[in-house]
């Protein structure tokens, strides 16, 4: 084993179980390890690297900005924040934005906004606001956020949890209707569940959910930290159903694969619940992050990355569907957001990811049974063809081993 893995293992908390590779360099869709071996990145740091590694436009701009102005805190204005938030609002059709750093912080911001909106606008009695969240969700790792999770491991040993969250079945519109009452502030939902295993709700779910929310004066908050910014073939995954949420959460790719940059966006009526001192972040909206975020959005639109994701994603799905492997239970996805569900009785997604690593393809299993494929949106056909060949070979080999044993 690599000495670097030993070192990390000794000093870094064991809250992850990384694949045994030590990466030292990234460019475009490729990464290199400490031995100079090249890998195709089909993971993109959980979609944070949609622009590819070290995008030349971003690198150039960061070098200029880093020598100019980086951190001032929101105690002062900067010349970089306004243009970034204007672009984000205009692209997504939202009125205002609150900049944060990590996705979890933006989700926390959304929860605070929804609760305060419920008390000050909707008229919910003090401390009675309820937020609805879906089974199978992933919204991050803070205490309040894992309170919304139904994944036992995310909660085990971390209680007690704050009240005010209610779980409903994902994709089930009757369950949503039954859960809404006078104290319901918001529904927070992923248009496609990412960490949950690329789980797609039935067609029309989001649209029906939006209508129900409007009818009952409940905020629809879309967590598009992973599905947003072109990942599913549209700028926002909500657009597939013509839905405009009341609140929108962006992160991951918003940082251009360089820094954590996130935000909560909303209608003015919702965002106006925040007054000075209510909520904040030392680093949120910093000039360096704002510069990167604005350029990340510009590149996304100028390089037509959502369209590319739609086109290449369709190609990837159609190539994957040519396989005839008993190990595959289901192949699903939208744009370059694809999951291969492995029949757990016949094979393990982790073992497949390890075999793909050997062949120079990086992916990561989610929920033990799903191999997630979410490459940078700049990926081309030839690279997809190569990846599909590797996956096909690995599945073929595993099936042979299984039959032989």
Ligand X SMILES: *Cc1c(COP(=O)(O)O)cnc(C)c1O
Q: Which is nearer to ligand X, 104 or 325 (by Cβ)? A: 104
Residue 20, C-beta contacts closer than 8 angstroms, at least 6 positions apart: 1, 2, 5, 354, 357
Candidate list 194, 196, 230, 347; residue touching ligand X; CB under 6 A: 194
Q: Does 103 bind ligand X (CB under 6 A)?
A: yes
Sheet holding 184-189, edge to edge: 96-100, 262-266, 247-250, 219-223, 184-189, 130-134, 165-168
Q: What is the nearest approach in angstroms of ligand X to the Cβ of residue 251? A: 5
Q: Does 108 bind ligand X (CB under 6 A)?
A: no
306 class by beta-carbon count within 10 Å (0-12 exposed, 13-18 middle, 19+ buried): buried
Tokens of 177: 């209707």
Mark 40-51 as b/e (b = at least 16 C-beta within 10 Å): bbbbbbbbbbbb
Candidate list 39, 138, 205, 274; residue touching ligand X; CB under 6 A: 138
Q: What is the DSSP letter of 240?
A: G
Q: Does 191 bind ligand X (CB under 6 A)?
A: no
Q: Does 149 bind ligand X (CB under 6 A)?
A: no
- Neighbouring C-alpha atoms within 13 Å toward the C-beta of 9: 12
Candidate list 108, 223, 341, 383; residue touching ligand X; CB under 6 A: 223
Q: How far is Cα of residue 37 from the mean position of the Cα atoms in its chain?
A: 28
Give the footprint of ligand X on residues 303-342 (CB under 6 A). none
Task: Output the residue with the shortest Cβ distance to ligand X.
Answer: 103
Q: Does 284 bind ligand X (CB under 6 A)?
A: no
Determine the interface stretch with ligand X among 34-42, 108-116, 155-163, 221-229 (rule: CB under 6 A). 221-229
Q: What is the nearest approach in angstroms of ligand X to the Cβ of residue 39? A: 22
Q: What is the nearest approach in angstroms of ligand X to the Cβ of residue 47? A: 7
Q: Does 102 bind ligand X (CB under 6 A)?
A: yes
Mark 135-158 as b/e (b = at least 16 C-beta within 10 Å): bbbbbbeeebbbbbbeeeebeeee
Catalytic residues: 138, 223, 252
Q: Which is nearer to ligand X, 111 or 327 (by Cβ)? A: 111
Q: What is the nearest approach in angstroms of ligand X to the Cβ of residue 67? A: 27
Sheet holding 338-342, edge to edge: 328-333, 338-342, 370-373, 364-366
Give the footprint of ligand X on residues 226-265 (CB under 6 A). 226, 251-252
Determine the interface stretch with ligand X among 96-104, 181-189, 211-219, 284-292 (rule: CB under 6 A). 96-104
Q: Does 377 bind ligand X (CB under 6 A)?
A: no
Residue 381, C-beta contacts closer than 8 angstroms, at least 6 positions apart: 312, 315
**Rounded distance, CA 46 to CA 401, Å?**
30
* DSSP string for residues in 274-312: --TTSS--SSTT-HHHHHHHHHHHHHHHHTTHHHHHHHH
Question: With CB under 6 A, what is the number of residues at the site for ligand X?
Answer: 16
Q: Which is nearer to ligand X, 195 or 246 (by Cβ)? A: 195
**Rounded distance, CA 180 to CA 200, Å?**
22
Q: Which is nearer to ligand X, 39 or 138 (by Cβ)? A: 138
Q: What is the nearest approach in angstroms of ligand X to the Cβ of residue 239? A: 17
Q: What is the nearest approach in angstroms of ligand X to the Cβ of residue 154? A: 12
Q: Determine how many CB atoms are found less than 10 A away from the CB of residue 186.
A: 27
Q: Which is nearer to ligand X, 111 or 387 (by Cβ)? A: 111
Q: Does 225 bind ligand X (CB under 6 A)?
A: yes
Q: Which residues bind to ligand X, rule: CB under 6 A? A: 46, 102-104, 107, 138-140, 190, 194-195, 223, 225-226, 251-252
């Amino acid at each position: 084993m690599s000495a670097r893995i030993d070192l990390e293992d000794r000093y870094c908390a064991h809250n992850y179980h990384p694949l045994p590779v030590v990466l030292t360099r990234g460019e475009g869709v490729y990464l290199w390890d400490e031995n100079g071996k090249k890998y195709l990145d089909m993971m993109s740091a959980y979609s944070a690297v949609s622009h590819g590694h070290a995008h030349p436009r971003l690198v150039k701009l960061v070098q200029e900005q880093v020598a100019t102005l980086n951190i001032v805190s929101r105690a002062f204005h900067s010349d970089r924040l306004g243009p970034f938030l204007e672009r984000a609002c205009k692209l997504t059709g939202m009125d205002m934005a609150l900049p944060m750093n990590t996705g979890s912080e933006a989700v926390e911001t959304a929860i605070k906004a929804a609760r305060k909106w419920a008390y000050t606008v909707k008229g919910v009695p003090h401390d009675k606001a309820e937020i609805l969240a879906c089974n199978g969700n992933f919204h991050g790792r803070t205490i309040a956020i894992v309170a919304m999770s139904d994944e036992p491991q995310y909660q085990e040993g971390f209680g007690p949890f704050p009240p005010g969250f209610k779980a409903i079945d994902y994709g089930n519109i009757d369950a949503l209707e039954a859960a809404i009452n006078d104290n319901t502030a918001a529904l927070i939902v992923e248009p496609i569940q990412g960490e949950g295993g690329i789980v797609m709700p039935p067609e029309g779910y989001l649209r029906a959910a939006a209508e129900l929310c409007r009818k009952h004066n409940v905020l629809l908050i879309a967590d598009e930290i992973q599905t947003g910014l072109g990942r599913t073939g549209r700028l926002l995954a909500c657009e597939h159903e013509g839905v405009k949420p009341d609140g929108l959460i962006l992160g991951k790719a918003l940082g251009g694969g360089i820094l954590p940059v996130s935000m909560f966006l909303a209608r003015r009526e919702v965002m106006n619940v925040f007054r000075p001192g209510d909520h904040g972040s030392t680093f949120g909206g910093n000039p360096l992050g704002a510069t990167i975020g604005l350029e990340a959005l510009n590149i996304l639109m100028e390089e037509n990355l959502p369209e590319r994701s739609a086109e290449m994603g369709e190609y990837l799905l159609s190539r994957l569907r040519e396989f005839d492997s008993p190990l595959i239970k289901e192949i699903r996805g939208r744009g370059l957001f694809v999951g291969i569900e492995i029949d757990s009785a016949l094979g393990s997604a982790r073992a497949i990811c390890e075999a793909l690593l050997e062949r120079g393809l990086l992916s990561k299993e989610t929920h033990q049974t799903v191999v997630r494929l979410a490459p940078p949106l700049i990926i081309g056909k030839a690279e997809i063809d190569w990846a599909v060949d590797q996956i096909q070979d690995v599945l073929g080999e595993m099936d042979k081993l299984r039959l032989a044993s």
